[in-house]
Structure 1
């Protein structure tokens, strides 16, 4: 995924399914470097991770 699409998803009110390593995640924020984002798994676990946006896939 590219930086432009991450920004579009963050500003959208729609529920857009994004996957990281096959797991559905929410994108919390795009980091200042523009190459990484903070995400967390959909569901009860709130553990957050910083991941490379190139590894995010829109379903």
Structure 2
């Protein structure tokens, strides 16, 4: 069985400020994924681990 990366209903933020809300994604094994957006928009937030997730699961 191949392992995939999946996030479901996650909120991310710093302190009490929510930056991303209701994040859902699934990445299949051996797939290449690109996240596009302006600087500072939170593209890498769910993967870096510097912010806390108050809801959901990964």
TM-score norm. by structure 1 comes to 0.28
Larger Cα Rg: Structure 1 or Structure 2?
2
Which structure ranks higher in relative contact order (CA pairs < 8 Å, sequence separation ≥ 6)?
Answer: 2
Greater share of residues in strand: 2
Give me the TM-score of the superposition, normalised by structure 2. 0.29
